[in-house]
Chain A
Amino acid sequence: MLTPMQIIKNKRAEAVHRIIGKGYLSTRRVYVGMATCEIAAGSKDVMQVFRQAIADGVTDVYLSQKGCAGRCNLEPTVEVIEEGKIPVKYGRVSPQRARDIVERHLKKGEVITEWMI
């Protein structure tokens, strides 16, 4: 008979396993803000751009939504986290900017400083 603490630790291990199974250990992790406010600012279209990019063959990327981090005036926000580098957080990301992030950052590794928060 397992105790609650043991059960929850097992659940955590399984959860971590499932997240990794979804590609969490990819070199790049992309997070798109998807709270009501971000969606109102247009983040659904932005998410679609990244989804499409992955469908079109951009590999080694873990894509996830996230809640609101509080930067209302700079929404929609997109975060690109690469192992061992400073996390890059882009503000006011339009679908066009998202396409540029795919082309320049994800494909060529270029950090687009002028859109960074």
Chain B
Amino acid sequence: MDDLKKGMEVTEAKFKLTLCDGTACIHKHSKELLLAVESELDKHGLRQAVKINLSGCLGMCKDGPILIVNPGFVMYGGVRVEDVPEIVQSHLVDNKAVTRLIISPDYLYNRFFRVFGDVDFFGRQMRICLRNCGIIDPENIDDYLALRGYEALAKALEMMTPQEVVDEVKKSGLRGRGGAGFSTGLKWEFTAKQVSDRKYVICNADEGDPGAFMDRSAIEGDPHTVLEGMIIAGYAIGASKGVVYIRAEYPLAIKRLEKAIAAAREHNLLGSGILGSNFDFDIEIRLGAGAFVCGEETALIHSIEGSRGMPRPRPPYPSVSGLFGKPTLINNVETWANIPVILLDGADWFSSIGTETSKGTKVFALAGKVHNTGLVEVPMGTTLREIIYDIGGGIPKGKMFKAVQTGGPSGGCLPEQYLDTQIDYESLAKAGSIMGSGGMIVIDEDACMVSLARFFIEFTQDESCGKCTPCREGTKRMYDILTRITEGKGRPGDIELLERLGGMIKRASLCGLGQSAPNPVLSTIKNFREEYEEHIHAKTCRAGQCTAMLSFTVNEKCIGCGACKRVCPVAAVEGARREKHRILPDKCIRCGQCYEACKFDAITRA
């Protein structure tokens, strides 16, 4: 209904203005500009006909303040308060754009504003990695070429030495988007410095976090940008072979990638003597069987080599000894997708976006209890509140926000007091979670935090490769204890035991999977300890999710329809037709099916 209303408003407004509300534009008096626009609109009686929208940083800081007028996507730059009367009179009243203020920067990103009228959702976003997703036909290389595709590669081959490419990436401040956030430029530099007859470039597309689909969407929506990033890296570090490691569970992404590789070969963008130069590079696809641990780089390399996907100690890092013992550069899909933009729009521009330590944007798969679930890309420094409430549209059904889970099974749950945390690697870590690869699950008051922690530990104990005992056995023990707690059989001391086990697993595991597996449990204990205590001591679950602790009784609203009797799997309901029924507590297994089936609110759950 809300979506519907928004749609109506948009169509009723004759013009839509988007004013950049980024820090740089505010410095250049965009706030005063907003007031001037509003008062000028009032003067002309145009307030109803014009919808004003504030956007997050559009990344065009040097041209700011930016004012965009739709329809037509007319972009005004360097707008001063004195210019407002002219813009309103000429553009909004006489329908003639003010040509002297129009700017048309040839940036690669954010073309989507023109294409999507959907400002409420996209207004605070900034699309670099996903710049073509949802705009081009991913199966047609022409669409990519038409939008300056492979121009960054041509630029690198023609105008830059390999060292200059590495320096540019280093200068951009780009950090690995797979989760750990290591400097991409340094990784490139380490691999470039190695002397070897053979080097490899790998794209890690083994996306495994439950509920995360950033990489899948990026490849499905724009496969060529990933390929272009990899080819550029091959040139920069002196590699001639690339591998995309992607899970077999992504058939459409694989199909589009195969198509893209074939088309790139046809256009001599892959193969020997790329674009008339003397640089050779080719890419092949390797399919993973969908093991979570294969997202870890050393396990991934083992898997490509045909061995069992298990991590090994580092050093040596893959940049020194990686695939088949050769220097190997591994980056995540999202990291690769940023490379062409950095080369074309420049490292200076890229590093102007984001925070002190984290540059550029991050894609999140926004899921859970939020109005607009979806894929969002925001500049670093955006707050969790902006993502959940401004872009996500808040929590449905008037429910209360309880927590937000970032970083998937390796991350943590942040409660309300952390909502104003900025998105960057350090701030999220300080708050007790991680950036991770981009899963973001919004949790409302109906969720039980103990069950949630149990869900994640169930996942990691299932996915543990078994190499390190603390991870293999420890996560299993944690899972057993959490199961016990949710079944109402928790014992005093269980919380402390979980904390001790968690600490041990983190310290004694080899790879990131084990080192981070206890995080969902530890962070929920830290932020929601009282819920654990209630489960253990009072044997209650405030969210009503742990059904084993509940008792079900029939109240006087019962009309004897028999619906509960029919669904009960253990025949624990008795009663004649049209008479009040009764639940036998000894037989009842507290599955909650009668509660779901009753249409008369006649079953009390306590």
- A102: chain B residues at CB < 8 Å are none
In Å, the complex CA distance between A67 and B137 comes to: 7
B152 to chain A, nearest CB (A): 9
- A117: chain B residues at CB < 8 Å are 3, 7, 118, 121
Tell me whether B276 and A2 are in contact (CB under 8 A). Answer: yes
B225 to chain A, nearest CB (A): 11
In Å, the complex CA distance between A79 and B99 comes to: 29
In-complex Cβ contact of B117 among A16, A65, A67, A87 (8 A):
A87
Classify chain A: how many residues form its interface, as a range. Answer: 35 or more
- A9: chain B residues at CB < 8 Å are 151
In Å, the complex CA distance between A19 and B145 comes to: 11
In Å, the complex CA distance between A71 and B134 comes to: 10
Tell me whether B115 and A87 are in contact (CB under 8 A). Answer: yes
In Å, the complex CA distance between A12 and B222 comes to: 17
Q: Mark A93-117, 1 if CB is under 8 A from B, else 0.
A: 0000000000000000001011111
- A37: chain B residues at CB < 8 Å are 213, 217
B432 within 8 Å of A by Cβ? Answer: no
The stretch of B85-93, B172-180, B367-375, B535-543 that contacts the partner chain:
B367-375
Tell me whether B70 and A74 are in contact (CB under 8 A). Answer: no
A27 to chain B, nearest CB (A): 15
Tell me whether B145 and A69 are in contact (CB under 8 A). Answer: no
- A2: chain B residues at CB < 8 Å are 276
Tell me whether B146 and A4 are in contact (CB under 8 A). Answer: no
Given contact pairs A12-B146, A113-B7, A1 touches B276 in the complex (Cβ within 8 A)? yes
Tell me whether B374 and A12 are in contact (CB under 8 A). Answer: no
Tell me whether B72 and A64 are in contact (CB under 8 A). Answer: no
Tell me whether A4 and B217 are in contact (CB under 8 A). Answer: no
A83 to chain B, nearest CB (A): 11
Tell me whether A68 and B221 are in contact (CB under 8 A). Answer: yes
Tell me whether A8 and B153 are in contact (CB under 8 A). Answer: yes
Tell me whether A69 and B134 are in contact (CB under 8 A). Answer: yes
B452 within 8 Å of A by Cβ? Answer: no
A29 to chain B, nearest CB (A): 10
Q: In chain B, residues 1-36, which have Cβ atoms closer than 8 Å to a Cβ of chain A?
A: 3-4, 7-8, 10-11, 16
A86 within 8 Å of B by Cβ? Answer: yes
B210 to chain A, nearest CB (A): 15
Given contact pairs A7-B276, A12-B148, A15-B146, A67 touches B220 in the complex (Cβ within 8 A)? yes
B388 to chain A, nearest CB (A): 14
In-complex Cβ contact of A68 among B4, B133, B151 (8 A):
B133
Given contact pairs A12-B146, A66-B137, A73 touches B371 in the complex (Cβ within 8 A)? yes
Q: In chain B, residues 52-83, which have Cβ atoms closer than 8 Å to a Cβ of chain A?
A: 70-72
Given contact pairs A3-B158, A70-B134, A71-B118, A91 touches B217 in the complex (Cβ within 8 A)? no
Tell me whether A114 and B4 are in contact (CB under 8 A). Answer: yes
Classify chain B: how many residues form its interface, as a range. Answer: 35 or more
B141 within 8 Å of A by Cβ? Answer: yes
A8 to chain B, nearest CB (A): 4
In-complex Cβ contact of A66 among B153, B221, B276, B373 (8 A):
B221
B187 to chain A, nearest CB (A): 25
In-complex Cβ contact of A72 among B70, B157, B274, B375 (8 A):
B375
A81: nearest chain-B partner, CB-CB: B115
Tell me whether B118 and A4 are in contact (CB under 8 A). Answer: no
Tell me whether B217 and A5 are in contact (CB under 8 A). Answer: no
B216 within 8 Å of A by Cβ? Answer: yes
B116 within 8 Å of A by Cβ? Answer: yes
A35 within 8 Å of B by Cβ? Answer: yes
Tell me whether A67 and B222 are in contact (CB under 8 A). Answer: yes
Given contact pairs A36-B252, A65-B137, A18 touches B275 in the complex (Cβ within 8 A)? no
- A68: chain B residues at CB < 8 Å are 133-134, 217, 220-221, 375
Q: In chain A, residues 17-60, which have Cβ atoms closer than 8 Å to a Cβ of chain B?
A: 18-19, 33, 35-37, 39
In-complex Cβ contact of B374 among A3, A73, A113 (8 A):
A73
In-complex Cβ contact of A36 among B132, B220, B373 (8 A):
B220
- B139: chain A residues at CB < 8 Å are 65
Given contact pairs A11-B267, A67-B133, A73-B372, A113 touches B8 in the complex (Cβ within 8 A)? yes
A69: nearest chain-B partner, CB-CB: B134
Tell me whether B158 and A33 are in contact (CB under 8 A). Answer: no
- B141: chain A residues at CB < 8 Å are 15
B376 within 8 Å of A by Cβ? Answer: yes
In Å, the complex CA distance between A88 and B118 comes to: 9
Tell me whether B153 and A4 are in contact (CB under 8 A). Answer: yes
Given contact pairs A65-B137, A66-B135, A15 touches B145 in the complex (Cβ within 8 A)? yes
- B276: chain A residues at CB < 8 Å are 1-4, 7
B335 to chain A, nearest CB (A): 19
B372: nearest chain-A partner, CB-CB: A73
- A111: chain B residues at CB < 8 Å are 11
Tell me whether B150 and A11 are in contact (CB under 8 A). Answer: yes
A89 to chain B, nearest CB (A): 6
A88 to chain B, nearest CB (A): 7
- B117: chain A residues at CB < 8 Å are 86-89
- A39: chain B residues at CB < 8 Å are 252
- B151: chain A residues at CB < 8 Å are 5, 8-9, 12
- B135: chain A residues at CB < 8 Å are 66-67, 69
9 closest A-B pairs by beta carbon, nearest first, are: A67-B221, A69-B134, A70-B375, A15-B145, A15-B142, A4-B275, A116-B7, A8-B154, A4-B154
List 30 A–B pairs whose Cβ atoms lie within 8 Å, in order of A's numbering.
Answer: A3-B276, A4-B276, A4-B277, A5-B158, A7-B154, A7-B276, A11-B267, A12-B145, A12-B148, A16-B142, A19-B143, A19-B146, A37-B213, A65-B137, A65-B139, A67-B138, A69-B133, A69-B221, A70-B375, A71-B121, A72-B374, A72-B375, A73-B371, A73-B374, A79-B115, A86-B71, A111-B11, A113-B8, A114-B7, A115-B7
Give 7 new A-B contacts, CB below 8 A, not counting A5-B155, A69-B134, A116-B7. Answer: A3-B276, A15-B141, A35-B220, A65-B137, A72-B374, A114-B4, A117-B118
